Amino acid sequence: MLLKKYLGIGLCSLFLLLACSEEEDNGVLTFDAPSINLSNESGEFRIGQTIRVDVSFEASALFRNFVVQRGSTIIDQINYPDGTEGEDNYSLEFFITENLLGTTQTFTFTVTDTFGETDTATFAATVSEVAPTFTIEDVEINGTSFKLVKGRINFDESFDNENLWLLKGAVTVEDITTLSIQEGTSIFAMDSIVPASPPLQPDPIIISGALDVQIGGALIAEGTQENPILFNTINAAPNQPETPDKGDWLGVVLRGDDSPEDSSGILKYVRIENGGNGDEALQLRQVGGATTIDYVQVHNTDDTGIRMRGGYVNLKHILVTQPDDRGIRYSDGWEGNGQFWTIVTDVDDSIGLNGRDTNDSPRNSDAVMSNITVIGPNIVGDGPGDTEGVRLRDDANGAFHNTIVTGFDDSFRNRNGGTMVIKNSTVFGNGEDGDDDGLHNTVRDDFRDPTNNNSEDEIVLTDVFVGISTTNSSDASTLGDFFDAVNFVGAVSPDDDWTLGWTLNFDGTPRE
């Protein structure tokens, strides 16, 4: 069993208490009895879950004590110092162990004031066998065998590399549940169809294939350079008649609690192909800073490749190729770091790297990135079009160090964004004719400030994005503990090409 408590105490003198008392009747002060409120009063739990109850209580007279009981046993007690009054809060966390199966755990909370008046509230937790809310079955589709997964995964589960796995519709990983995926495993996805049910639902509903990890759940997908983990559409599986295409399925979603300490798991040596379907192929929603996102490629997506919506997650060794909209976008108060990112897009009216908050953002994004290479359609497409390499908008902040931007109409732009820091970076091959810096007038003067040590000299790139420069670089490790100690501009060094062996080239061929 694990018990945690969190307590905040407000101290006040008796003089202030009397001055703020509830009533005065014929010269005699009277006080309301203490009161308690619970965030919830009951719940059903299974082994391995944690009971969480938030308690708020108040007393117009002075507090004497607060007692927590499990059954008839006192498991916590707070005796207040003289003069403590007002309001207070308490949080209970209690871990369910195997020996509690089939029982009802009762927690009683009692507050007592200085006059001996009390109030009591009770929480009842039923511990029972919880039925699985997902299924795994063997199926054969066009001569290929799959393990078909449907529903909400609410027990720890593993996908091995001896089978092909198929997600039907949106498959979720629930709270306190871990899905582990073995290195070298291939996971495919297909739509599910909810039949029409007139008159309330006259048409069928199509639910895109996706893997959606809920808050409190975890995805451990740790591949290797030799055996990466692959996510793709069913159309890319053996013997399927359709040609795989961007937007065939949605993608992978991780959800966190928006704290630096929270972890949603590990994505390492993972490739996500042909996702998007009108949304981001890899969505990181309020994901915490203890999550590992390292060596991940998103290829050929219908929308944005990767989006961080708030949170504190850090990303390293990221490759986004052929996004149909933005390469990488951050928003909603993302406060993370990034290093060794490569983005390659050939789409007109696209943005390589975009920081943009919204009116609903809980705070302004404040991100730090180094060793970034952003390649636009002037290099891999039919001209720069109406494109931007790196843009900030709507009060989002961003610091860009050791960054290459080439092949766009605008290389850097700050469109009503917050603070945009550009240092030790290089732009070339931008503009309408692909022969200038492409710096928007909102950033040009700062970029050319000698103290920022930026450059407009061309850097020779091979294989579209491989190439660095040490002419105007800085040691990235000076930016913080997350950053590796490298001193060059750009994301991929010819001497240490981290994209080899597990990613795809821009054209979709294996990168070897």
Residue 486 falls within a domain, yes or no?
Answer: yes
Q: Record the pTM.
A: 0.81
Contact 295, 272 (CB under 8 A): no
Q: What is the pLDDT of residue 22?
A: 43
Question: What average pLDDT score do residues 17-38 get?
Answer: 63
Token reading at 483? 């950053």
Alpha-carbon gap, residue 35 to 49, rounded angstroms: 29
Q: What is the pLDDT of residue 26?
A: 54
Total length of the chain: 512
Please write the tens of the pLDDT for every residue from 143-195. 999 999 999 999 889 999 999 999 999 999 998 889 999 999 999 999 999 88
Q: What is the pLDDT of residue 10?
A: 38
Q: How many domains does the chain have?
A: 2
Residue 236 falls within a domain, yes or no?
Answer: no
Alpha-carbon gap, residue 187 to 169, rounded angstroms: 13
Residue 338 falls within a domain, yes or no?
Answer: no
From 79, 106, 127, the end of a domain falls on 127
- Answer with the residue of higher pLDDT: 242 or 11: 242
Residue 280 falls within a domain, yes or no?
Answer: no
Contact 78, 113 (CB under 8 A): no
Q: Name the pairing type of β-strands 205-207 and 192-194.
A: antiparallel
Alpha-carbon gap, residue 204 to 49, rounded angstroms: 36
**Which residues are 24's β-sheet partners?**
29
Q: DSSP assignment, residue 16?
A: H
Q: Which residue has the tokens 């979720």?
A: 172
Token reading at 455? 């450059």
- Answer with the residue of higher pLDDT: 199 or 9: 199
Q: Per-residue pLDDT for 494 more than 80?
A: yes
Token reading at 21? 């008392």
Residue 224 falls within a domain, yes or no?
Answer: no
From 127, 156, 180, the end of a domain falls on 127
Q: Name the pairing type of β-strands 50-59 and 42-45.
A: unpaired
From 127, 153, 175, the end of a domain falls on 127
Domain region containing 395: 360-512
Q: DSSP assignment, residue 488?
A: -
**Contacting residues for 487 by C-beta, under 8 A, at least 6 apart:** 470, 473, 474, 475, 476
Number of Cβ within a 10 Å radius of residue 345: 29
Residue 78 falls within a domain, yes or no?
Answer: yes
Residue 189 falls within a domain, yes or no?
Answer: no
Residue 285 falls within a domain, yes or no?
Answer: no
Contact 392, 417 (CB under 8 A): yes
Alpha-carbon gap, residue 309 to 504, rounded angstroms: 26
Q: Per-residue pLDDT for 434 more than 90?
A: no
Q: What is the pLDDT of residue 21?
A: 43
Q: Per-residue pLDDT for 2 more than 60?
A: no
The least confident of 31-35, 253-257, 296-300 is 31-35
Q: What is the pLDDT of residue 27?
A: 56
Question: What average pLDDT score do residues 422-449 get?
Answer: 94
The least confident of 85-94, 208-217, 447-456, 492-501 is 85-94
**Contacting residues for 30 by C-beta, under 8 A, at least 6 apart:** 21, 22, 23, 24
State the average pLDDT for the chain.
Answer: 92
Token reading at 60? 């117009």
- Answer with the residue of higher pLDDT: 255 or 417: 255
Token reading at 75? 């498991």
Q: DSSP per residue over 296-337, as a string?
A: EEEEEESS-SEEEESS--EEEEEEEEEESSEEEEEESS---E
Q: Please state, in angstroms and as integers, the Cα–Cα distance from residue 299 to each residue in 77, 83, 328, 353, 354, following that order.
A: 56, 64, 12, 15, 18
CATH code, domain carrying 55:
2.60.40.10
